[in-house]
Amino acid sequence: MKDMVVHIGMSKTGTTTLQRAVFEKHSQVCYLGKIYKSPHARGCGSADIYDFLSPLLWPANHPLDVASAKKFFNETLLSEAGADRQIVGSWEGLSQQGIEAFKTSVERLQATCGSCRIMITVRNPIKRLPSMYLQHLRGNQAQLENTFISFEEWLNSQTQRLGGLDQVFGYRDYIEIAINQFGKDNVGVFVYEQFQADANQYLQEVSGFLGIDPAETIALADGQRLHSRLSSSQLARIEELNSSLLGRLRWWLASGQKRKELVGFSDPNQSHSSDSTGAAAQVELAPEVIERIENAARSGNRWLVEHLGLELEAYGYPL
């Protein structure tokens, strides 16, 4: 019997490329979401799929009717997938929903589906955190409506919100919970830096875990990098606006659309930039900030090396 694979991201680890280029289009994937521009909640493939997944993946306010969930999975999803397609759902936010919520999710997934597999891609937090910060500035969730904050301010706010620095980039606890629930063989952990170094090998390994044709995966993902990045000139504009009282006043008085224009976005949805050909923005981390991140990351990285044999040292992960 087919199972379900839940890809829990994380953000800034190539998740969007897999979602849009591979999962949505691969002939051997029965994709539940997150689907780009889906009209349904959470980007699900249908309202029925959202109703099925809500108590499983976003359990806080959704009680689970196990019998109904089992019935939908066995009679609807398995039938739709057939013998030749793998059921896949992918939401990067699942890797930061909080440990207790994730525990509830994996318990409910097992109760409903019997067998389930979890897939996650990790990334060196020294690189991932600045990328997350730049995504924040770029406004993927309309955050350009908010005032500018520095990387350190952003990191401190995230640390406070999530209950610890390790939780901002935390992956070890999620992986361990998934392994304890489903078994080591049912948890696929991939390294983003391998995707950067050898995309074809990475995609072959992902395809092997999913049980889908790697040649089709590679062809679909070829050359695809589907998150446009904040440019260095755009970042400079944002910093310039924040550097003076006049600039901040200009920002506060501007409409949402005007703010986007001020930093170089050429359309209301921010899918294009007026200076998109410029160099990608970079965040220079102070030595004390790097040390703080390294200290928070070491124990989790060592656990991944010891328990899963991941070659993190080769990619500069703090160990």
Task: Return the minimum-mean-pLDDT range out of 103-107, 131-135, 138-142.
Answer: 138-142
Domain ranges of the chain: 4-126+169-221
Please report which confidence band the pLDDT of residue 314 belongs to, taking 50, 70 and 90 as the band edges: very high
Question: What is the tens place of the pLDDT at every residue in 273-313?
Answer: 444 456 888 899 999 999 999 999 999 999 999 999 999 99
Is the pTM value of this prediction over 0.85?
yes
Is the predicted pLDDT of residue 272 greater than 80, yes or no? no
Q: What is the DSSP string of the chain?
A: ---EEEE---TTSSHHHIIIIIITT-TTEEEEE--TT-SSGGG-SSHHHHHHHHHHHSGGG----HHHHHHHIIIIIHHHHTTT-EEEEE-GGGGGS-HHHHHHHHHHHHHHHSSEEEEEEE--HHHHHHHHHHHHHHTTTSGGGSPP--HHHHHHHHHHHHTSHHHHS--HHHHHHHHHHH-GGGEEEEEHHHHHH-HHHHHHHHHHHHTS-HHHHHHHHTT---S---BHHHHHHHHHHHTSHHHHHHHHHS-HHHHHHHTTB-STT--SBTTTTSPBP-----HHHHHHHHHHHHHHHHHHHHHH----GGGT---
Is the predicted pLDDT of residue 73 greater than 70, yes or no? yes
Q: What is the mean pLDDT of residues 119-143?
A: 82
Is the predicted pLDDT of residue 146 greater than 80, yes or no? no
Q: Does domain 4-126+169-221 match CATH 2.170.150.20? A: no
**How confident is the model at residue 97, as a pLDDT?**
84
Question: What is the tens place of the pLDDT at every residue in 21-64?
Answer: 999 999 999 999 999 999 999 999 999 999 999 999 999 889 99
**How confident is the model at residue 261, as a pLDDT?**
76
Question: What is the tens place of the pLDDT at every residue in 151-177?
Answer: 999 999 999 988 889 888 889 999 999
**Percent of the chain residues past pLDDT 70, beyond the cut:** 90
**How confident is the model at residue 273, as a pLDDT?**
44
**How confident is the model at residue 140, as a pLDDT?**
38
Question: What is the tens place of the pLDDT at every residue in 220-229?
Answer: 998 766 566 7
Is the predicted pLDDT of residue 269 greater than 70, yes or no? no
**How confident is the model at residue 227, as a pLDDT?**
60
Q: What is the mean pLDDT of residues 181-199?
A: 96
